[in-house]
Each structure stands twice: as C-alpha cells, then as structure tokens.
A and B are shown apart, each in its own frame.
Chain A
Amino acid sequence: MSATLRDKYAIVGVGQSPIGEVPDMDSLSLLALAMKAAIEDAGLTNKHIDGMITRGPDDVYTHHQHMGQILGINPRFSASLASGGASQCAAVAMAAMAIEAGMCETVVTGYGRNTWSRTRKRGTRQGSERGLRLPGEPQEFAPEFGLFGATAMHAFGCRRHMHLYGTTKDQMGAVAVAFRRHASKNPLAQMREPITLEDYHRAKPIVEPYNMLDCSLNSDGAGAVVVTRAERARDLRQRPVTIMGFGQKNNLRGWFHDDNMVTLGGLESAAVAYRMAGIGPEDVDVAQIYDCFTYIVLATLEDYGFCKKGEGGPFVASGALELDGALPTNTSGGQLSEGHIEGMLQIVEAVRQLRRDHPPDRLVKDAEIAIVSGHGGNTVCHSTLILRRG
C-alpha cells in the first residue's frame, strides 16, 4: 500500500486496568480506567480527545456511546468495531486513517472485558454449556454435532497443520512455556507460576489437539492507547512510538473454506503492512502475536515470514521466542499467561518495549521495531501493526 502514512502518526499514550480476576467491575468501567490511564500517560486530558474507536463485548449496543458518556467526550469521529480479536490493531490503523482524512486529531482506542467474572457469576464456563443458544451462535450445522466454542474452531486448523507438516505437541508446548516465563517477570500478569513442558503435557485435554495450557486465559481487564500526529507527539509527555505500517485481511468466506485454517489472513495482512513500513521480517526486533491458542502463534509467525510455512513448529521450539532469542515474542506473557484482552495488551506491550519502559530484565535489547498481530472472528479476521521507536 501507500507509504505516505509511514511514521506520520504515533501512539503517544498507553494504559491498562487491573488484569485477571477483578470482581465487581463491569467491562465498561475497566475500559474507562484504561482509557483514562492512556490519556494521562500522554499528558493529555479528556478535553483533547476528539476521536474514539472501541470494541465492546459483543452484547453491548453502540459500545462507543457508553464510553463517551463515561469519559465525558463528544468525539468528532467514533466507531465500535466488531472483528473480534482483530479489532484492536484495526482500531489503531483506523485512528490513523481518520486523522489523515481530517475527521479528528487525537483518538483514544481500547478494549475491555470482564469474562472471568461474568462466567463465574453464571456458575458456568460458557453459556453454551447450559445448552443455551447465545446470540450469534450457529443454530445448525454445528451444535447438533456437538461442535461448540472457539477452542474447537481453532483446533481444526491445528490438527490440519500437524497432519501436513508434522507439527508436534512438544512444539506447541514450547510456546506456552516461553510465554509463561515472560509472564513470571510481569508483576501485573494473571498467571506467573513458571511451567515446564512436563506440566504442559499433564494439563487436561479440552478439545484435542488442545489441552488447558494451549488455551488463553479467561480474564477481566482492559487496555487502551492514544493516537495522534507524530509531529504533535513531540510536544507530549512520552517518547512517541510511530505507526510504520498496518494491514488487514479477512477471510470472511469462513474458517472451513480454502486453506484458511492453515494460512491465516496474516499472510496478506503482514505483506501490506511490510510494504507500507518499507521493511521485512528480518528488520523486526520484537513481536506481539495474537495467542488465543498456541497453534495460532506458530501459524502467524509462518505467515509473517519469520520462517517458512510448515516450519513454525521447529522455529518456536528453537528458543526463538525468548527475550534473547531470534524473535522475542509476547514479552509480557501474552494471552496465554498475562491475560486475554483480545490483543489490546499486546499493543500496549509493544509500545512499552519500544519506549523501554520496563526494567532491563524484561526488555528486548535495543528494540527499534515491533510487529503486532490481531486475529479474531473464529479465525477469519486478521490485522497487523508495525511500530517504531520514535
């Protein structure tokens, strides 16, 4: 795509709410806390915000309307996205596009959820376990055959990948173990107890080939960022992190269609983002990869060109994901261990790595460029961000 937007816009503030088990707070309140933190991190107030892009829980109508009310903002541009976990990177990209179009100047974007608390209150892990049909769930061609939930939808691709390329559970386990090691250094992470490959293999099966430690967490929490013009960012409180490139690809014809479960939208989404950024995978210092399930990490790394298609298993098992590895990945623990906020915390972590906010034992040395992936909508939606230390 066009390189004219490269480095023209920047993330100037990041924030997050408490993460993990946060009882007695709804998702709107959690997101409000994260957005307030991001606005203050930038050295701004709610009076400076004239754009807002959110993605609420799917059952909240006109989500951005609620957030504007809580935060006292009447934006010139606002929207709520609905691409699942691909929404968050897409929202940052949309913020740049909206400012470029003259719609607004300074955008707050974020995502919040209270999945841990909500599911515990119901007394079940998921509504579908009680036999309920939730809005948006299929009414035929799935439940009558016992097909329920995102875990299974993502397990089909994993199985196919194992069949085609010999990908192993040991390799998937390496992802879970590496991200937990990162989380063990993150005082805000939901799961900090280190795990071994043996622990991984002992975890109870959920939907094979996935066991409990292949699956991301149920979390309460929220994250948010503020986007504005890079030239304006120089006057603000934080060192800016510029948006070098972004991309999207959405395989809306379905997870079951074509080769979509093995080659994700990430292949084309990353290609667009690399072109805009004027870089390739060899230039990336740190990656934040959407990890709803272990397999999605290695498939995305293949699609992003860090290894060939089919070689994601050996790549992740090589130690590449460690802080001093070939591609330090999900350096705050990811959704497998830090908390599952649908990719929003991974944008926040990319910014913190590039600003070098963390103590040295959590930092990727001399990181200048980060890539972030978003993935959602039952494996069909994909978005990519490439960020640079400003």
Chain B
Amino acid sequence: MAEVAYQKPLPMPSELSAPFWEACRRHELVIQRCQNCRALRFPPAILCPECLSAVVEWTRVSGGGKIFSFVVFHRVYHPGFATDVPYTVALIELEEGPRLVSNIVDCPPSEVACDLPVEVVFEDVTPEVTLPQFRLRPASGKV
C-alpha cells in the first residue's frame, strides 16, 4: 500500500525558531535562555521580555511538566484532523516555567485533567519534521 502523505499543517519555522525544530528532530526539547538575566522564554523571540537583552542561548529542558489547561476539539477546522476528533490540545507548563501548546497523546480526552504531570514524547511526522507531544506520566495516575 502506498504511503499516505502527511495531511496536517506543518510548522513554518522562522529564523528565530529554527533551533527549536532542529532540536526536536534530535528528540530534544530546547528553549531560549537570556544570557544576561538568565530568564527562560518561549515562544522564541529576539529580545528577553524581562531585561530586553538580545544575547541568548538555547538550553535543553527536562521535558517534564504539567497540564495547565486543555481543550477538546470536536469541530474539524482542518481536513487533516478529520479522523482525529475528538482530540486534545493542551497548554503545557514546563517544569522550568514557560508554557507551550501541544497535544496529549495515548490518552482519551475524558482522562485528561488540569495539573496532571506529563512528559514529552517526540513524533517524527515527516522525514524533516518532528513534533513534541506529551503523555501523562505513567506513575502519576489520576489525581
């Protein structure tokens, strides 16, 4: 059977975010750290929103965090998600502080809850693109 092309939108990285996506391909989660005040930030930006320094480095984070909030899509806004509904989109709060949007995978929406601990998993969706997604931490169970 011929392989079906990936149907969902792919991220369109900017010059600022390219290192994030390159790290995902290596199955590493990285975010920016200000070299002046050490504040971590996400999404990627040219200046530190705390001290406005432009001197920045990328730092690897643990990949652990918790579900700050989440929503469950029933409406199909993009045909690539037609067979996924209902699916969960979550705002993950990383252990290091910054928050990012992702999906909760390997878990029915009815078992997702705010503040549950999660950990990153990487899905290679095309040869060029890897998405960071999250699953409930196995030991955590339900709160």
Contacts and interface: CB of A to CB of B under 8 A. Distances in A.
Interface of A: 126, 128-131, 133, 139-149, 151-152, 155-157, 159-160, 163, 204-209, 253, 256-257, 261
A2 B83 CA distance: 56
A205 B74 contact: yes
A207 B101 contact: no
B129 to A, nearest CB: 8
Contacts of A149: 77
Interface residues of B, number: 41
B74 A256 contact: no
Given A144-B9, A156-B69, 10 more contacts: A131-B78, A131-B80, A133-B12, A140-B21, A141-B101, A142-B101, A143-B78, A145-B103, A148-B78, A156-B70
A146 B11 contact: no
Contact of A146 (B13, B87, B99, B114): B87
Contacts of B115: 163
Contacts of A142: 101
Interface in B43-76: 43, 49, 68-76
8 contacts: A131-B78, A140-B17, A156-B69, A159-B71, A159-B114, A163-B113, A206-B75, A207-B71
B113 A146 contact: no
A11 to B, nearest CB: 38
A152 B87 CA distance: 12
A253 B43 CA distance: 11
A256 B91 contact: yes
B96 interface: no
Contact of A156 (B11, B71, B73): B71
A163 B77 contact: no
B80 to A, nearest CB: 7
Nearest to A159: B69
B86 interface: yes
Contacts of A143: 9, 11, 78
Contacts of B74: 204-208
Nearest to A128: B77
A146 B10 contact: no
Top 10 A-B residue pairs of the complex, sorted by shortest distance between their CB atoms: A148-B77, A140-B11, A163-B114, A208-B72, A139-B12, A143-B9, A155-B71, A205-B74, A160-B69, A156-B69
B19 interface: no
Contacts of B89: 145-147, 152
Contacts of B49: 253
A358 to B, nearest CB: 36
B109 A208 contact: yes
Nearest to B70: A159
Nearest to A146: B81
A142 B9 CA distance: 10
Contact of B69 (A126, A130, A157): A157
Contacts of A126: 77
Contacts of A152: 71, 73, 89
B38 interface: no
Nearest to B76: A129
Contact of B43 (A141, A145, A207): A141
Centre residue among A133, A253, A256, A261 by max chain B CB count within 10 A: A256
B30 interface: no
Interface string B95-131: 0000111110000010001110000000000000001
Contacts of A253: 49
Contact of A207 (B11, B75, B99): B75
Given A140-B14, A160-B114, A163-B113, A131 B70 contact: no
A209 B99 contact: no
B136 to A, nearest CB: 16
Nearest to A153: B71
A94 to B, nearest CB: 27
A256 B131 contact: no
B51 to A, nearest CB: 14
Q: Which of B12, B77, B78, B79 has the most CB atoms of chain A within a 10 A radius of its CB?
A: B77
